[in-house]
A and B are shown apart, each in its own frame.
Chain A
Amino acid sequence: MGKQDIIKSLKDSLFTGLIALALFGPIVGLRTVSKGEGLFITPQWGVVFLLVGLCILGRFLININSARRTEFKIFSTLSSKFSSITEDKAKHFAITGILFAVVFPFLPFTDRYFMDVAIMILTYIMLGWGLNIVVGLAGLLDLGYVAFYAVGAYSYALIATTFGWSFWICLPLAGVFAAFFGILLGFPVLRLRGDYLAIVTLGFGEIIRIILINWYEVTNGPDGITGIPRPSFFGLPFKRSPDEGETSFHLFFNLEYSTMHRIIFLYYLILVLALITNYFTLKIRKLPVGRAWEALREDEIACKSLGVNPTNTKLTAFAIGAMFGGFAGSFFATRQAFISPESFTFIESAIIVAIVVLGGMGSQTGVVLASIFLIGITEMFRDLEQFRMIAFGGAMVLIMVFKPKGILANRKPTILMHGDKK
Chain B
Amino acid sequence: MSNLLSVENLTMKFGGLTAIDDLSFDAKNNQITSIIGPNGAGKTTVFNCLTGFYKPTNGQMFLHKEDSKISLRKYTDFKIAYVAKVARTFQNIRLFPAMSVLENLLVAQHNELMVASGYSLFGLLNLKSYRDKEQLAVDKAKYWLDIIGLTHRADDNAGDLPYGDQRKLEIVRAMCIEPRLLCLDEPAAGLNPKESAELNKLLKFIKTEKQTGILLIEHDMSVVMGISDHVVVLNYGKKIFAGTAEQTKNSKEVIEAYLGVDE
Residues of chain A touching chain B, judged by Cβ–Cβ distance below 8 Å, are: 280, 283-284, 287-289, 291-292, 294-295, 298-299, 301-310, 411, 413-418
Contacts and interface: CB of A to CB of B under 8 A. Distances in A.
Contacts of A294: 96, 98-99, 103
Given A287-B123, A307-B82, A415-B138, A302 B99 contact: no
A308 B134 CA distance: 17
B110 A306 contact: yes
B120 A307 contact: no
A294 to B, nearest CB: 6
Q: Which 4 A-B pairs have the closest CB atoms?
A: A307-B82, A307-B81, A298-B96, A413-B100
A192 B116 CA distance: 30
Given A302-B95, A306-B174, A287 B124 contact: yes
B154 A304 contact: no
Contacts of B177: 306-307
Nearest to A421: B155
A306 B107 contact: yes
Nearest to A320: B120
B256 interface: no
A287 B142 CA distance: 19
A295 B94 CA distance: 11
Contact of B95 (A299, A308, A414, A416): A299
Contacts of A307: 78-82, 108, 110-111, 177
Given A306-B177, A308-B107, A417 B151 contact: yes
Given A291-B106, A307-B111, A298 B82 contact: no
Given A287-B124, A294-B103, 17 more contacts: A280-B124, A283-B123, A289-B114, A291-B107, A295-B99, A299-B95, A302-B90, A302-B95, A303-B78, A305-B90, A305-B94, A306-B174, A307-B111, A413-B103, A415-B102, A415-B106, A417-B154
Contacts of B152: 418
Contacts of B111: 307-308
B86 to A, nearest CB: 9
A413 B96 CA distance: 12
User: Range of interface residues on chain B?
Assistant: 35 or more
Contacts of A306: 78, 81, 87, 107-108, 110, 173-174, 177
B77 interface: yes
Contacts of B134: 415
Contact of B51 (A280, A299, A305): A305
26 contacts: A288-B110, A288-B117, A288-B120, A289-B117, A289-B120, A291-B99, A292-B107, A294-B99, A295-B103, A295-B110, A298-B95, A304-B78, A305-B88, A306-B87, A306-B107, A307-B108, A307-B111, A307-B177, A413-B100, A413-B102, A413-B155, A415-B103, A415-B106, A416-B102, A417-B151, A417-B154
A298 B98 contact: yes
A294 B78 CA distance: 17
B107 A418 contact: no
Contact of A418 (B88, B113, B155): B155
B59 to A, nearest CB: 22
Contacts of A309: 78, 82
A305 B164 CA distance: 21
A interface majority secondary structure: helix
Contacts of B38: none
Nearest to B94: A302
A304 B177 CA distance: 12
Nearest to B84: A307
Nearest to B121: A287
B123 A288 contact: yes
A411 B141 CA distance: 21
Contacts of A308: 78, 107, 110-111
Interface string B121-151: 0011000000000100010011000000001
Contacts of B173: 306
Nearest to A289: B120
Nearest to A288: B113
Contacts of A414: 103
Residue from B82, B89, B102, B155 having most chain A Cβ neighbours under 10 A? B155
Interface in B149-176: 151-152, 154-155, 173-174
A130 B102 CA distance: 27
A36 to B, nearest CB: 64
A299 B152 CA distance: 25
A344 to B, nearest CB: 30
A309 B108 CA distance: 12
B214 to A, nearest CB: 16
B151 A288 contact: no
Contacts of A303: 78, 107
Nearest to A417: B154
Residue from B78, B79, B152 having most chain A Cβ neighbours under 10 A? B78
Contacts of B119: 289
Interface string B174-190: 10010000000000000
Given A305-B87, A307-B110, A417-B155, A411 B98 contact: yes
B106 to A, nearest CB: 6
Contacts of B99: 291, 294-295, 298, 413
A405 B245 CA distance: 51
A207 B182 CA distance: 47
